[in-house]
Amino acid sequence: MSIRYVESKKLFQIETAHSMYQMKINEIGILLHTYYGEKLGNMDMSYQIPSVERGFSGNPYEISTHHEVSLDLLPQEYTSSGVGDHRISSIDAISNNGSRSIDFRYKCHKLLSSKYSIEGLPYVRAHKDDVCTLEIILIDEIIGLEIKLLYGVFESKDIITRTVELTNIGKTTIILEKVDSICIDFLNTNYDLIHFQGRHCMERQFEQNTLNHDIQTISSKRGMSSHQNNPYVILTELATTEDIGNCYGFMLMYSGNHKTEIEVDQTNNTRLVMGINDDYFRWELEPNSVFHAPETILTFSNLGLNKLSQNFHNIIRENICPIQFQNIQRPILINNWEATYFDFDYTKIIKLAKQALEVGVNMFVLDDGWFGNRNNDNAGLGDWIANESKLPGGLTKLSKDLKAIGMNFGLWFEPEMINENSELYKSHPEWVLQDPSRKPVISRNQMVLDLSNIDVQNYIFKSIDKILEGSEIAYIKWDFNRSLSNVYSNALPNSKQGEVSHKFICGTYSLLERLNSKYPNTLIEGCAGGGGRFDAGMLYYCPQIWCSDNTDPIARLKIQKGTSYGYPVSTMGSHVSAAPNHQTGRDVSLKTRGIVAMSGTFGYELDFDKLTDIDKSEITKQIENFKKYYWIIQKGTYFRLTNNKENSFYEAWEFVSKDKTKILLNMVVTNIKANSEIPRIKLKGLEKHLIYHIEGTKEKFTGAALMYAGYVFSLNIEDYQSFQILLVLEK
């Protein structure tokens, strides 16, 4: 088993294929974190914790004469609060007498031969993996609070998952004001923090900063994981690159308000805590009740950032995304949005579908505007009934007619939203998240439904269920086009308003779970104004997420590259759209647009009436190539070939098939230069002694030459030129 407990040393040791994680119970029952990193054998790493007295760092009462022992200095596995540790804490709570002190001590533990699950929340599935669980229980007997620390170990995949469960074993209600899913302390090491900031249409931009003596916070309180700060961070040692050095990844499997805090303390130790954002959070934990925190996913790499990313890619593809979509080719779709916006009818839709079918597209997705009185974004959200003045015979007729010509049908929804100008709002204004004493904040002319309310959940489910039962729909695009504000539920008492944000996202999860259970073969693509809810929590229900509303391929290179640090290409919704681009006005060749979009789920958003015969021929070729390369792209090992620190004038990336017999090399010039230097791109993941040839040519290279000297590209004088090359292993 990959988990050991050494009773004589009170030591817990978790091992994966290439990492070791260690904890120890000290003499007064504090659970210490002693190590996480490369395997070190059976060494008790607590020797690294020095006994040093420091001023203004108090001592637990039972060993108060031991001035060198202080919670303010000890590396802890999950912190107490208000009892001497003045660094960031992983929990804040108020007991019945108003006290905010919590003092957790070790109670017991179990080793289990299977993976735990989490009630009402997404988690990493075990599937066929050999997974075991460590369960450690800490307790504060005075206030009657018990915490269960859970560790799931995916040994062969180098993944450890963590979560906590809080149980009120007392007789009075405890108010939780902060519950983090993970706390981890690193001893006296200098780190860089990598996180992924952004905004709408420019999500998950790579940013790297050296940690200083302060508290760095990465968070969202927008009611979603957000365009601005993804719930995924990396700590790296300072010399780490894509292929060299130690780095640690931490991903929160949650789609709502989140917060990661990293503090470098007075002795240069680094603490990271991650979980639900404590802003707007207040939970009444009644006697005998349990609070389940979201899961976090951890991995360590001593081979740089590419290997760290690949660990996350494997676990997300194989253990988070719905299993039924892992081994089937997903549809190549045409979405009508940029072709028609709200201005469409049955005739336009059928015409566009037939045009797309001719070039090889196999799914038509009808976007916003098909329901209620929805002719613009001012009305109709919540009224999920087809507008038969646009679509005579409704969705039933449209889906059957599309099926008859050989085209599958997909449909856009925005289930969590409502317009004031809707029949639903007229009937149930109390179903909106809204402070009853204030006028609401309006965004995109819409408000947010109260998904913490089971009646609202049931209405949405019944509305979607009725449509799915009556039509042949193979795909749902699930959108979410504004942040939460006025977060107040009319269905909850005043004392529980701090629970609404978390209950809202749990309501969304519950809806998705119900739909997945009844319609397991209907593919749901997540979306939130593009990539505003691109996280592991949503991927548990949706095997792909629309990566960004920005479809400009040059902007997309950075968005998709940033996304790749944590998430696999198979989850990235990516389409070829019009040129000039509707978001940036940039004009990029159809070839380049295709190569960029192929590093995703692939599809189109185009008005075929504006395409030439040459364009249509190019699209046919792109689709043929995508089908040919499908499994290399979707399941191959992904490598970033250009370093963010180099500020290169091109981006390059590579896919290596699992058996290493095929390599797909991609390159796009982002800034053409006069009298340019020659790009020499060093490939990765090849067998150095074997021979590879470029398909369609007579060129041959050893793996060593390609990896250590590089492949040379000859550039033309051309904006945003691109290359896609397949290398095949010589037999």
The Cα–Cα gap between 250 and 252 comes to: 7
Q: Is 549 a catalytic residue?
A: yes
Determine which one of 103, 479, 535, 552 is catalytic.
Answer: 479
DSSP 283: E
Determine which one of 549, 607, 659, 719 is catalytic.
Answer: 549
In DSSP terms, 112 is beta-bridged to 133
DSSP 191: E
The Cα–Cα gap between 719 and 315 comes to: 38
The Cα–Cα gap between 180 and 92 comes to: 9
Q: How are beta strands 408-413 and 202-210 bridged, if at all?
A: unpaired
| Cα–Cα distance list, 706 to 73, 93, 135, 143, 668 (Å) | 49, 57, 47, 63, 18
DSSP 606: -
Query: What tokens does 309 get?
Result: 């990313």
Are 70 and 54 in contact, with CB atoms under 8 Å apart? yes
Q: Is 552 a catalytic residue?
A: no
Q: How are beta strands 363-366 and 333-335 bridged, if at all?
A: parallel
The Cα–Cα gap between 661 and 686 comes to: 9
> CB within 8 A of 347, min separation 6: which ones?
none
CA 220-269-242 angle, to 5 degrees, is: 65
| Three-state SS annotation for 643-672 | CHHHCCCEEEEEEECCCCCEEEEEEEECCC
Going through 155-256 in order, the beta strands assigned E by DSSP cover: 159-168, 174-186, 191-199, 202-210, 215-220, 232-237, 247-253
Are 443 and 483 in contact, with CB atoms under 8 Å apart? yes
Give catalytic residues, as residue numbers.
479, 549
